[in-house]
Amino acid sequence: MSAIRLLVLGSVRQHGRAHGYQVRNDLEFWGAHEWSNAKPGSIYHALKQMARQGLLHAYETAPSTAGGPPRTEYEVTDQGTEEYFALLRQSLTAYDQKLDVLSAAVGFIVDLPRAEAVALLRQRVEGLERWRAGVTEYYTPEEGPESLGHIGEIMNMWVHSADAGAQWTRGLIARIEAGAYTFAGEGDPFADLHLTSREGPG
């Protein structure tokens, strides 16, 4: 799965309608250009591709009063909304995704009801625990990686990664259950982010 689809759909959905520069600006505000493939070219390509796929509706707007070419504004369709929430839920539960996919999902987790977010994160922990159990059928961490030669360091790295991922996820669950953040149905989940939408080329 690519993080860019989730990031772009989520950003457009926040605005209601958005042009490419607004989406780019949002994702740069999040630092997504540093931890994902959300580079300008990828963002504009994703917008056009998802419009062709029926996930976004494209509107041609008039040129700005300052001159320049017309902008294209995008709006998430019903099909796009279904795709967005399917990607979001899958990204939160899948334990074998790259960190950029998980990062994108955490960025939009507040679009879900609080109870559902917790349930999905618990599924993630269960998946990590199952995966770790599978690895340790062949590798016993207590014996140390040397027991398998230097290749044991690979297994050691993945076991540590699974442990760290589960620990972080449990911490997030605890913070959410304790009332952290604003989730769907509780107010505006993104009100505290102060996302900007500077004018610029579209």
Contact by Cβ (8 Å): 42, 81? no
Share of the chain above pLDDT 90, in %: 54
User: Around Cβ 112, how many Cβ atoms within 10 Å?
Assistant: 21
User: Around Cβ 9, how many Cβ atoms within 10 Å?
Assistant: 27
Residue 23 has pLDDT above 50, yes or no: yes
Question: Residue 47, class by beta-carbon neighbours within 10 Å (0-12 exposed, 13-18 middle, 19+ buried)?
Answer: buried
Sign of CA dihedral 121, 126, 127, 128: positive
Best-predicted range by mean pLDDT (20-24, 32-36, 70-74, 146-150): 20-24
Share of the chain above pLDDT 70, in %: 84
Residue type, 76: V
116-170 pLDDT, tens digit per residue, is 999 999 999 999 999 888 877 766 766 666 666 687 787 778 888 889 999 999 9
Q: Enter the pTM of the model.
A: 0.84
Banded pLDDT at 46 (limits 50, 70, 90): very high
pLDDT at 4: 93
Question: Residue 3, class by beta-carbon neighbours within 10 Å (0-12 exposed, 13-18 middle, 19+ buried)?
Answer: buried
Residue 11 has pLDDT above 90, yes or no: yes
DSSP 3-state assignment of 12? helix
The DSSP H or E segment spanning 72 is: strand 72-76
The DSSP H or E segment spanning 81 is: helix 78-93
